[in-house]
Amino acid sequence: MIVIKLTKRQEEIIRLVKENQPITSEQLADKINVTRAALRPDLAILTMTGILEARPKVGYLYSKKGGNSIVYDLIREITVAEIKSKPTVVSEDTTVYDAIVQLFLNDAGTIFVTNNDYLVGAVSRKDFLKIALGNTDIHKVPVGIIMTRMPNIITITDEDPAFEAAKKIIEHEVDSLPVVEKEITEEGKEMFKITGKVSKTNITRLFVKIGAGK
């Protein structure tokens, strides 16, 4: 079995839940003096591993299952390479209109943008919605104008555990993460090629697969 190494804050959350259960995330955040958003990754990990139990409209309860969750062991062993899927990619000079078309044709939550095959940016549905509601001519504006640029994009690699991908998606509140391979150009610059993506859907499929015993 894999031994779970909890952070000090996670240990504090467990102590507070034991002493005050049921307790809401708002109450926990107030007692620890942090925001609910800051607690979200910790609570997700503690419930996913079976240490805490989350009950809608009630709060968090301590579970006697502790950290010996089979699900925890499995998602620690499964790598990103095993669950990633094909990303939706457009070039930096693609118009916003054409990028939106690709978004819906591929039922994607995020479009990844490349330049000379290297990842340079990402655009979410929220980004597209903002510009579509304005007076901008989306048939003329390139997607490179509205994208979030590297290095402000959270990435993962094939070797990372699926657990790490799930944690990053929750922690950074994004729809999906690009799976990348690092390359050093002739000029000595560090660049990334996108080889896939891991989205909330990929993570959900993984949990369904584990639950079905496959």
pLDDT value at residue 141: 94
pLDDT value at residue 64: 61
Q: Is the confidence at residue 57, as pLDDT, over 50?
A: yes
pLDDT per residue as tens digits for the range 96-119: 999 999 999 999 999 999 999 999
Q: What is the dihedral of CA 38, 44, 49, 55, to 10 degrees?
A: 120
Backbone CA torsion sign across 186, 187, 190, 194: negative
The pTM assigned to this predicted structure is 0.68
Asked, colleague to colleague, whether 8-77 and 80-211 share their fold, the answer is no
User: How do the domains of the chain map onto residue ranges?
Assistant: 8-77, 80-211
Q: Is the confidence at residue 186, as pLDDT, over 50?
A: yes
Say which DSSP state 85 is in. Answer: B
CATH of domain 8-77: 1.10.10.10
pLDDT value at residue 3: 45
Task: Give 96: exposed, middle or buried? Use CB within 10 Å, 0-12, 13-18, 19+.
Answer: buried
Confidence of residue 208 (pLDDT cuts 50, 70, 90): confident
3-state helix, strand, coil in the chain (%, to 5): 40, 25, 35
Cβ pair 42, 167 in contact under 8 A:
no
15: part of which helix (H) or strand (E)?
A: helix 8-20
pLDDT per residue as tens digits for the range 11-29: 899 999 999 999 999 999 9
- With respect to CATH, is domain 80-211 assigned 3.40.190.10? no
pLDDT value at residue 68: 47
